[in-house]
Structure 1
């Protein structure tokens, strides 16, 4: 059975295949054509976020920023083929209390990267650090990452421990012993998650969410066209993930993970078809200071969009301990 969402603004996102699709008020949906960028901008405002840009080296970063500067900073990292807008519904609950920064990663969303940009996790992590330094967001930051963004957030925390206060991993990518989905046993299947032609978005929704949402056709078509236009960069990211799975073993991944001393919160959907829920316990056992994972019932790979309200209170309580 499919769910119909009726909130004024709703972002449905897929990550390790993430996509931002917004459901809007009746008067907007009645329009003959939908300007999805305008819709997303309205959703950011609803979440207490402003759109900003920052040029750092050869990358032109687009990012959302909200909350009061001077309060503890949260940096939220989206997943493969996603954008900062994947976090809007979740961030709406954070901006009243924290300084929230959500970048579009290089070559994703509205951020621009050179044609020869290297889309490896280490390089993306290093560029994220340069972005944080340029924006003066790096000191005493709390990092959160979903899916591929979880791998970036984990590596960022390991490499910059002095400036990182806590880590939140949501259905995080990694190289696991316990994960046994087709997408990890045969990483080449990740190529099937690239939205490269009409119809691919429906297939991706069925993979990444447990109960695929109803989305108005005009919005779905508009978002699918946008994702098709970005499919070249998405494919480069996928190839880097496949390469990572060949270069690293669960043991080498464990070595990198065990150096993290920061407090860690882990959350997972128990119906995740991309990275199965057993990986949550494996991560917890690798990390020195991780709480018991939050396992969300009947939720797929996209907790921040499928059931974000179930994560808000635990995350706020976690953050309150480590301000």
Structure 2
């Protein structure tokens, strides 16, 4: 019997954390079966008192890896819906169309319609690339369906100059070389960019295992997603204020989307947006300081409640 690598063992552990939070795994067919969205969701028999919260992961590992520190505390206050975005995890589509964050948002909106109670208003939280999608979901469905929005570590004003600066920091020639590591060296550099306090040393065989397990699937489709991002293209995308209340969450030492962009994003989102900076964290504050990250979300989404984590 082959020995499981560390990535597979971690994957199993993270999945058990989702199950322990009371979430059930589902594959939801959409678009007449052309699209399938894999998700973890509240069980159908869950009480109807708790509000619905959709968590959207960033570019990279599937949802179980990126939201593992949130599902336990947040599931006590919300009915959670945690999908894998298209071409991540078990989600995918054969439908024709642009591979844009707006296309991702359409799939998320259809998923919400399929699994949330009819007429229920939901809140949406997205990190990094998932923040791009969350913004489009909020704009697509409007305040009648989406009550509040959390945009975490997500530069909605990203432009070509920002990509060039990222490539300089990452020592790479193309964004896909940073976001889709194909070697242990590229994986190590991505971890150094993503975390304010990365591990001092991770063995090469562990990095190789992570690359193989997390970044070897649907590579061409993910490259299309990177190329399809409309942010920064003034002909395809204009950032406008959202009518919903918005919390912009950002790590103080983010090297993917530097902190100065957080202030610009919050200002551009208008009077309904406020910014909270999480000190001593990088691009993944939900992993580096999950307690403060979760408190920020709970205080924003349930302002009248005093939450105990």
User: Under TM normalisation by the shorter chain, which class is it?
Assistant: 0.7 to 0.9
**C-alpha root-mean-square deviation of aligned residues, in Å?**
3.0
SS at match of 2:221: helix
Query: Aligned-pair distance for 1:108?
Result: 0.6
Question: Is 2:56 the counterpart of 1:81?
Answer: no
Write the distance in 1 (CA, Å) between the matches of 2:218 and 2:141. Answer: 30
Query: Aligned-pair distance for 1:115?
Result: 8.2
Query: Aligned-pair distance for 1:149?
Result: 0.7
Question: Is 2:303 the counterpart of 1:321?
Answer: yes
Aligned residues: 286
**Structure 2 matches for 1:227-266, cutoff 5 A?**
227-241=215-229, 244-245=230-231, 247-248=233-234, 253-254=238-239, 257-258=240-241, 260-266=242-248
Report the equivalent of 2:250: 268
Query: Aligned-pair distance for 1:203?
Result: 1.9
Write the distance in 2 (CA, Å) between the matches of 1:153 and 1:126. Answer: 11
Give TM-score scaled by structure 1 length.
Answer: 0.78
Write the distance in 1 (CA, Å) between the matches of 2:274 and 2:216. Answer: 39
Report the equivalent of 1:62: 38
Greater relative CO (CA pairs within 8 A, separation 6+):
1
Question: Is 2:120 the counterpart of 1:139?
Answer: yes
Write the distance in 1 (CA, Å) between the matches of 2:227 and 2:235. Answer: 17
Report the equivalent of 1:295: 277
SS at match of 1:261: coil
SS at match of 1:273: coil
Query: Aligned-pair distance for 1:218?
Result: 6.9
- CA 1:316 to 1:245, structure 2 compared with 1: closer, same or farther past 3 Å? closer
Query: Aligned-pair distance for 1:290?
Result: 3.6
Gaps in structure 2 of 5+ consecutive residues = none
Give TM-score scaled by structure 2 length.
Answer: 0.81
Question: Is 2:4 the counterpart of 1:33?
Answer: yes
Write the distance in 1 (CA, Å) between the matches of 2:188 and 2:97. Answer: 29
- CA 1:219 to 1:66, structure 2 compared with 1: closer, same or farther past 3 Å? farther
SS at match of 2:73: coil
SS at match of 1:207: helix
Query: Aligned-pair distance for 1:246?
Result: 5.3
Write the distance in 2 (CA, Å) between the matches of 1:210 and 1:249. Answer: 35
- CA 1:131 to 1:268, structure 2 compared with 1: closer, same or farther past 3 Å? same
Write the distance in 1 (CA, Å) between the matches of 2:130 and 2:167. Answer: 16
Moved more, 137-146 or 298-307: 137-146
1:165 touches 1:322 (CA, 8 Å); kept in 2?
Answer: no
1:184 touches 1:274 (CA, 8 Å); kept in 2?
Answer: no
